A and B are shown apart, each in its own frame.
Chain A
Amino acid sequence: MKLLIKGGRVIDPANEINDIMDVLVEDGRIKAVGQDLAAGDAEIIDAAGKLVCPGFIDMHVHLREPGFEYKEDIASGTRAAAAGGFTTVCCMPNTDPVIDNAAVASFVRERARKAGVVNVLPIGSISKHQEGKELSEMAELMEAGCVAVSDDGKPVDDAGLMRYAMQYASMFALPILSHCEETSLSRGGQMHEGYYSTIYGLKGIPAAAEEVMVAREIILAEATGTRVHICHVSTAGSIELIRAAQERGVQVTCEVTPHHLILTDEIVGSYDADTKVNPPLRSLDDVIALRDGILDGTVDCIATDHAPHHLESKDCEYNLASFGISGLETAVALIMDQLVIPEIIDVETMVQLFTLGPANVLGIEKGTLDVDADADITIIDPQLNKTVLPEQFYSKGKNTPFKGMTLRGWPCMTIVKGQVICQDGIIANAF
């Protein structure tokens, strides 16, 4: 089985490639990247005018299985990933049961092999049952295929436990992904605290709720000489803390989400619960600071925090609605339309943030078009205009504040291990 992707603009930040080239795939691996490649018996994919990139990685996804299959499952969530241009997703452990032992981690990987269509790398929990009291068996989780640990969905309140977690995980170079939220400051909050929470009369979640814990994680990582990754950074203050820490050599990395890069808290005024997310949509100053963080390299990667929810938990009173945005199927198009095409960031930066960036944070051998690497490839049509139609999502979660937006620049082909999983937004019949 050979594929020859011809005439596309190949962008591979790991190899500093940005040129019109061909990519030859054989037996699920990259065979060659170069100009005017020929292979008589290969299936030809005409990529003229398209961007040919290493497979995109979303290191922060909630696939909800096991336990919450009514919101999403591995079959639907991985199809959403493929449709959105992702070849690898890391799934968070806040399932039921929690991914805090080898049995659950193995179950997820097994389900992904059988029902999934993209690579699924599970993330184990930091603490048993995500209760923040005792450490999970991290060596066992790693053995079972977990690529990181996180209690995402909630913070590790106990600073002492987080310190132990950092020290313990560092023995295995297992990344810690920290959801930073000081709950005594965020409790009951519905949106970002600021001018718009004043106007809309909703209880605010101050930026300080995030920043207090970002500062804590940085101090702990520095004190223990270990590393930490900050999930879904949303405030200017957090970016400032992380930037300063990185400058003095602290091993801290971070991710931002497309929605925090694009939307502000003003949009909450519709009281449409699809705008309700944690951390909340922040102020314009925060959005600008996140973009600056990308431009100066403070931000390592873009991750969706894909949080699918059932219709009933969004179609209700704002205060009663669940937090979260279904993000897999819009992320790439949003970044293309809102940041790349308007020339706020260049296309290499975008590819970096979706490929090498997360791969480096996780320490996985993905995100490149190296010869012999897994043939995970994302092809983007930078000219394609399409409207966000949640009812057509593969994800069970239709909860997106971007519904109805027409975006330019969509993934048009997703190849996982040499197989074309998704073409023009449609999952191939074989899957």
Chain B
Amino acid sequence: MTRPFKSVRETGKGAAVDNIAFLADGCKEGFFIAINEGVEMKLEQRKDLLGLRDMSREEMELILDTAVPMKDIIKRDIKKVPTLRGKAMVTVFYENSTRTRTSFEIAGKYLSADTVNLAVSTSSVQKGESLRDTIKTIEVMGFDLMVIRHSMSGTPHYVARNTKMRVINAGDGANEHPTQALLDMFSIKENKGTLENLKVVIVGDILHSRVARSNIYGLSKFGCEIRVVGPATLMPPEVEKLGVKSYYSLDQALKGADVVNVLRIQRERQTTGLFPSLDEYSNLYMLSPQRLLQAKDDVLVLHPGPMNRGVEISSVLADSNTAVINEQVTNGVAVRMALLYLMMGGLKDEIAN
């Protein structure tokens, strides 16, 4: 399969790229279009990215493949391409986040989209404005795409129904966090060389985790054996119907694992009676080098961050080569660049004009 931007890499890392010519060149060579025209069409027709549950394996592959050259751009001295010049995107976060919001923002900026962050919690919500009115206000400013995070499941779906803007779900309640799962998958593929048929363990608060759900939907389409592990009170009902195996014992779940994705434990779950104490939680579920001996020798450890060191993951492990937690953050930017590029179709529009 031809990789997009391959020729760009070969033209010289760090070269000035503020010319549309090379983009046109890239297009002439047909890198993007050649990958898989059908899938690309599908992604273009997809107005929104709300989750991975209804996304095909081919669409995910296209995004992950497109993220490869995007990651190269990040590593350049001059990290900017004009691909999405003239496009405008807004990030609207109804829930605190630093890395995801910043990641989307810089992804847009590397591609030359005009990127605005709306700090919602301090503006309209406090004035009692309805979500519908907020969306409309943003829409009529001319944005092409909205990235939304919300503590309530389904809110991006509601937004998508009520706006012409494209909508990317940056995490909704306990439902989905598709870009996190895509960056996890990218990181796995980068390290393992494949996504096929791996044994992936997801450990922690499965019940409240949108990261777990999106990873399950994504990885299961690549034939992975997914094992979820956590206390019974943090396990969603009928979870095995999703095609995963559920465990209460971390040691058992880790046997022969290729990848372990460690979820952040929210401290407030304890006060609502879901588990007795952080001490007991970490005794049972903290991933440590010792525990990891159960897994394969080349096991890969992921964590969506921010970490509670010494609670769900041992500090030693987090800083070891087994874990690629920092690399995940870089990959997050690359995956989001790929998604913005594919969804806003900057290149094609540019050519069309």
Contacts and interface: CB of A to CB of B under 8 A. Distances in A.
A, B bound: yes
B238 A318 contact: no
Nearest to A318: B154
B193 interface: no
A35 interface: no
A315 B237 contact: no
Interface stretch (A73-81, A197-205, A377-385): A197-205
A236 B237 CA distance: 17
Interface string B141-159: 0000000001011110110
Contacts of B132: 315-316
A75 B175 CA distance: 41
B25 to A, nearest CB: 44
A201 B237 contact: no
Interface string B85-109: 0000000000000000000000000
Given A198-B242, A201-B210, A317-B131, A271 B236 contact: no
A199 to B, nearest CB: 7
B312 interface: no
A318 B155 contact: yes
Interface in B36-58: 53
B155 A194 contact: no
Given A195-B241, A316-B130, A201 B175 contact: yes
B264 interface: no
Contacts of A197: 236-237
A429 interface: no
Contacts, number: 65
A270 interface: yes
A317 B154 contact: yes
A312 B130 contact: yes
A201 B153 contact: yes
A208 to B, nearest CB: 11
A195 B238 CA distance: 5
A319 interface: yes
A202 B158 CA distance: 14
B17 interface: no
Among B132, B158, B241, residue most surrounded by chain A Cβ atoms (within 10 Å) = B158
B174 interface: yes
Nearest to B214: A201
Nearest to B209: A201
Interface in B147-185: 150, 152-155, 157-158, 172-176
Given A201-B174, A312-B130, A194 B238 contact: yes
Given A195-B238, A201-B174, A316 B210 contact: no
Contact of B154 (A193, A202, A312): A202
Contact of B157 (A195, A204, A270): A270
Contacts of B131: 316-317
Nearest to A268: B154
B53 A199 contact: yes
A45 interface: no
Interface residues of A, number: 21
Given A312-B130, A318-B158, A198 B173 contact: no
Candidate in A193, A197, A198 with the most chain B CB atoms within 10 angstroms: A198
Nearest to B241: A195
| Among B236, B239, B242: residue with most chain A CB under 10 A | B236
Contact of A316 (B153, B158, B173, B174): B158
B237 A202 contact: no
A270 B132 CA distance: 17
A106 to B, nearest CB: 37
Interface in B231-271: 236-239, 241-242
A312 B129 CA distance: 11
Contacts of B157: 270-271
Contacts of A320: 152
Interface in A272-319: 312, 315-319
Nearest to A206: B237
Nearest to A190: B153
Contact of A202 (B130, B150, B174, B239): B174
B227 interface: no
A207 to B, nearest CB: 10
B213 interface: yes
Which of the listed residues B154, B155, B236, B237 has the most CB atoms from chain A within 10 Å of its own CB?
B154
A302 to B, nearest CB: 29
A4 B172 CA distance: 60
Given A197-B236, A199-B53, A318 B130 contact: no
A317 B210 contact: no
B153 A318 contact: yes
A201 B150 contact: no
Nearest to A192: B237
A198 B150 contact: no
B213 A204 contact: no
Contacts of B150: 317
Contacts of A198: 236-239, 241-242
30 contacts: A194-B238, A195-B241, A197-B237, A198-B236, A198-B238, A198-B241, A198-B242, A199-B53, A200-B153, A200-B154, A200-B175, A201-B173, A201-B174, A201-B213, A202-B174, A202-B175, A203-B174, A271-B154, A271-B157, A271-B158, A315-B130, A315-B132, A316-B130, A316-B131, A317-B150, A317-B158, A318-B152, A318-B154, A318-B158, A319-B173
Interface of B: 53, 130-132, 150, 152-155, 157-158, 172-176, 210, 213, 236-239, 241-242
Please provide the 10 A-B residue pairs with the shortest distance between their CB atoms, ordered closest to farther.
A271-B154, A201-B175, A201-B174, A198-B236, A201-B153, A319-B152, A195-B238, A271-B157, A318-B154, A317-B152
Interface of A: 190, 193-195, 197-204, 270-271, 312, 315-320
Given A316-B132, A317-B154, A318-B154, 9 more contacts: A194-B238, A195-B238, A198-B238, A199-B242, A201-B213, A271-B155, A315-B132, A317-B152, A319-B152
